[in-house]
Chains A and B, each alone.
Chain A
Amino acid sequence: ETGVTQSPTHLIKTRGQQVTLRCSSQSGHNTVSWYQQALGQGPQFIFQYYREEENGRGNFPPRFSGLQFPNYSSELNVNALELDDSALYLCASSYQATNEKLFFGSGTQLSVL
């Protein structure tokens, strides 16, 4: 158990809808990163939040947005869902914005119909 929890575990949405995914980081960690993993692919970096600010972003459009709260938990919001957004969304927590030790949650499986 990593101590990183994500909710919900599964979600079904239709094209054009909006979705919010949630992540609670491991105790003592102040950094949360979000990744998208499509079937048969490796995870792709969406963005990272460090001390409530976006600290870096991958090649994802602005309809992917996020928040980090004072307790370091985080949300990923996706607007105007597209079929290609169907994927496993992984949250990873770490300390001080490092990549050296990332602890992943078990993910949210999003299906867009």
Chain B
Amino acid sequence: RKEVEQDPGPFNVPEGATVAFNCTYSNSASQSFFWYRQDCRKEPKLLMSVYSSGNEDGRFTAQLNRASQYISLLIRDSKLSDSATYLCVVSFSGGGADGLTFGKGTHLIIQP
């Protein structure tokens, strides 16, 4: 079964802190990996793609560990506006025919 597992939280973090969360995926043949952000009752939005070499976008760093089949997201200097649900997403094929497989999301609350 194709699954993506992540800790639902909530993670309550003070503003300015660093927070990290992981997810694991079951299919070792997975091709593409992403983090999406979803605000309450809104649509998911692509935060960043995740590559084996790791990638960084401002305060956000994503890492992929293919051997252990997990993906991580690190947020540095967290802002109140970072409060959201972060969805770990995996594509099991190179194309779109299998769709994206989403985790249930990790709820992050940044506190002033």
Q: Kindly provide the distance from the CB of A42 to the nearest chain B CB, expressed in whole angstroms.
A: 3
Report the separation of the CA atoms of residues A44 and B87 in the bound assembly, to the nearest whole angstrom. 12
User: Contacts A40-B104, A42-B87: A33 and B96 contacting too (C-beta < 8 A)?
Assistant: yes
B49 interface hit (Cβ, 8 Å): yes
How many B residues touch A, CB cutoff 8 Å?
Answer: 23
Does B96 contact A43, Cβ atoms closer than 8 Å? no
A72 interface hit (Cβ, 8 Å): no
How many A-B residue pairs have C-beta atoms within 8 angstroms? Tell me.
67
Contact of B49 among A45, A50, A100 (CB under 8 A): A100
Report the separation of the CA atoms of residues A107 and B38 in the bound assembly, to the nearest whole angstrom. 12
Q: Which of A1-56 contact B (CB under 8 A)?
A: 2, 31, 33, 35, 40-48, 50, 55-56
9 A-B pairs closest in CB distance: A45-B99, A56-B97, A42-B102, A104-B43, A97-B96, A99-B91, A99-B96, A42-B104, A43-B102
Interface residues of B (CB under 8 A from A): 4, 32, 41-46, 49, 87, 89, 91, 95-105
Q: A43-B100, A58-B99, A98-B95 are in contact. List 17 more A-B contacts (CB 8 A).
A: A2-B45, A31-B96, A35-B99, A40-B104, A42-B4, A42-B87, A42-B103, A42-B105, A48-B99, A88-B41, A90-B43, A97-B97, A98-B96, A104-B43, A105-B43, A106-B42, A106-B43
